[in-house]
Structure 1
Amino acid sequence: MTALIKINDKLSVAGQIALEDFATLAGLGYKAVINNRPEGEEAGQPASAEEEAAADDVGLIYAHIPVTGPSISEQDVRALQAVLATTDGPVLAHCRSGTRSLTLFAIGEVLDGRLKREDLPAFGAEHGIDMRGADAWLARNGQ
């Protein structure tokens, strides 16, 4: 299984997970998986429908919020927040490396005043993820 990066008690992020990892995640107490990868981004990645079936098989909630760095919208940020808010337990969000998943979360935290934009570099460094994409998104969107 790919390394899970715990952000807080509600969210962890990771790179691409394998279909067999869904059972492990359920066993670890996760309640939902968010896939932030567009379909066919990379050869060999499971299709969203395959991930959804794997999640269903082990009782996990599944959400597909596909984004690329340049395509992130506030709607995508709010969709991730909605899954976190409505899931009773920990959630794993994944993409190719975990960066986009954490970027979505961090943008929401700044928009909602729980994190300051100037704290993004330290927040990212704490989790081993570069937050320049989140900072650039906030700059483009007047934040």
Structure 2
Amino acid sequence: MADIRNVTDHFAVAPQITEDDIDEIKAAGFKTIIANRPDGEGGVDQPRMGAIRTRAEENGLTFVALPFSGAPTPEIIERMQSILAEAPAPVLAYCRTGTRSVTAWALTHGGQGQADDIVDAAAGAGYDLSGLQHLL
């Protein structure tokens, strides 16, 4: 069962999902899945994006691969912003723990004067992004 953590009405994050989680994700109303975890990061037992993508698309969901390691670069933030603007909502992004996904989401709001709201939304989902407040 996927550990889905709602950040807003239109965006949620989860730790690593599997193809077996897709039915639950669809039933929860999600329209798009963003994969932020590179294949193989967790070793040979890590579920692969290809299988997850296939199952998602078979179920009518949009699947976008945006894998990255470490802190999101400006290019990743820009791409995440573009995906979120264009993808059918609500969106579920996943990585190993959900932290890099929620961080990339938060940084798409940088400079918009919403720092407190973004930090509070992340905290409501169980992620402490207070250290990023100065970037938001």
Pairwise same-fold verdict (TM > 0.5): yes
Offset at 1:90? 0.6
Offset at 1:123? 4.4
Residue correspondences, number: 135
- Relative to total residues, which structure has the larger helix share, 1 or 2? 1
Alignment-derived partner of residue 114 in structure 2: 115
**SS of residue matched to 1:110:** coil
Equivalences for residues 55-66 of structure 1 within 5 A = 55-66=56-67
Alignment-derived partner of residue 125 in structure 1: 123
Distance (whole Å) between structure 1 residues aligned to residue 12 and residue 86 of structure 2: 16
Offset at 1:3? 1.6
Deviations 1:52-111 (A, max 9, x none): 1111111111111111224x2122112222222112321100011110000001111124
Q: Which runs of 5+ in 2 are unaligned?
A: none
Offset at 1:134? 4.1
Q: Cα RMSD over matched residues?
A: 2.2
- Structure-2 change in CA distance of 1:123 and 1:8 (3 Å): closer
Corresponding position: 1:4 with 2:35: no
Equivalences for residues 62-141 of structure 1 within 5 A = 62-70=63-71, 72-111=72-111, 113-116=112-115, 122-131=120-129, 134=132, 138=135
TM-score (norm 2): 0.85
Identity of aligned residues (%): 32
Q: Which runs of 5+ in 1 are unaligned?
A: none
Distance (whole Å) between structure 1 residues aligned to residue 119 and residue 10 of structure 2: 21
- Structure-2 change in CA distance of 1:67 and 1:133 (3 Å): farther
TM-score (norm 1): 0.81
